[in-house]
Amino acid sequence: MKQNKIILSFVIAIVAVSCATNPFTGKKTMAFVGNDELFPSAFAQYSQVLTENKVIKGTSDAEMITRVGQRIAVAAERYLTANGFEGYLDDYKWEYSLIESDQVNAWCMPGGKIAFYTGILPIAANETGVAAIMGHEVAHALANHGQQRMSAAYIQQGISLAGNVALADDKNLGIYNQAFGIASNVGGMLPFSRSNETEADKIGVYLMAIAGYNPDEAAELWVRMKANSGDSSTPEFMSTHPSNDSRIENLKSLAPKAKEEAAKFGVTSFRAIN
């Protein structure tokens, strides 16, 4: 039991000192892994992905991905500088790649390495739809969601270890591990992941609006995402993402706020959706 308390105290101490400030919420977030370690690893993984896949270059779609990405990056720089985080992106190495694949996916690694798969373009439907996806994915990186997920996993493992030490000679160890695994995922990791997705939706529509793209299109994008999924999804409490309907309604409510935010940067009209 004494060992158990020591391990738990160690976990709590690590959490207390390993925090970073989320530049969009002002809240302290877990950051057990620093950018000096995280970025080089992300850059190496990105390079590997590019070597293992067909990267499309020189087409109108590839040029659009780069164009939208650059505008979102500029919007992020403007927003961060205006809110007291000048220099926040100094270590970012922005790169935008269109990869040939049927996957309906896009992502942004820590440090600004972005990939779009051709399979998501029909659902994006237009450049503004691409901006909605780009804003969301870039938001994950800017808000350090990757660091937070890694840190949360470390805490989960630490608490599990403490329980195993406490029950090392107990016949109920197997039951504990099974129960802890379910409870920590459904009650901890999954809600944590959903909150990251909701935060990225908010930051994303702000960024796309500041970049000159109509934030109303974000909700329409998710209407198309829902249709593409066949209107079937995992129950929200068992999913890493909010339900499609929750997401659509949230994005609709965020659009007017995103327009107000964009107006602070002199953006009062948006590019035509085509």
pLDDT-derived band at 82, boundaries 50, 70, 90: very high
- Tokens standing for 30? 């877990």
Give the confidence band of 17 by pLDDT, cuts at 50, 70, 90.
very low
pLDDT at 149 > cutoff 80 = no
Residue 20 pLDDT: 65
pLDDT of residue 143: 85
Please write the tens of the pLDDT for every residue from 225-239: 999 887 555 443 334
Of 17-26, 57-66, 154-163, 198-207, which gets the smallest average pLDDT? 154-163
Read off the tokens for 139.
């938001």
* Residue 153, pLDDT score: 52
Task: Of 8-22, 30-44, 78-92, give the lowest mean pLDDT range.
Answer: 8-22
Segment 188-194 shows an average pLDDT of 47
Q: What is the pTM of this model?
A: 0.76
In angstroms, what is the C-alpha Rg of the chain? 20
The rounded percent of the chain whose pLDDT value lies above 70 is 67
Q: How confident is the model over 34-59, as a mean pLDDT?
A: 91
Mean pLDDT of 37-61: 93
pLDDT at 262 over 50: yes
CB 224 within 8 A of CB 122: no
At residue 269 the predicted structure's pLDDT band, cuts being 50, 70 and 90, is very high
137 is catalytic: yes
pLDDT at 220 over 50: yes
Mean pLDDT (the chain, rounded): 78
Q: What is the pLDDT of residues 104-145, one digit of tens each?
A: 999 998 899 999 999 999 999 999 999 999 999 999 888 886
Pairing of strands 95-99, 113-117: parallel
Which carries the bigger pLDDT value, residue 242 or residue 87? 87
For 154-167, what is each residue's pLDDT tens digit?
444 544 444 444 45
Q: Quote the CA–CA distance of 164 and 46 in Å, as a whole number.
A: 37
The catalytically annotated residue of 37, 77, 95, 137 is 137
pLDDT at 178 over 80: no
Residue 177 has pLDDT above 50, yes or no: no
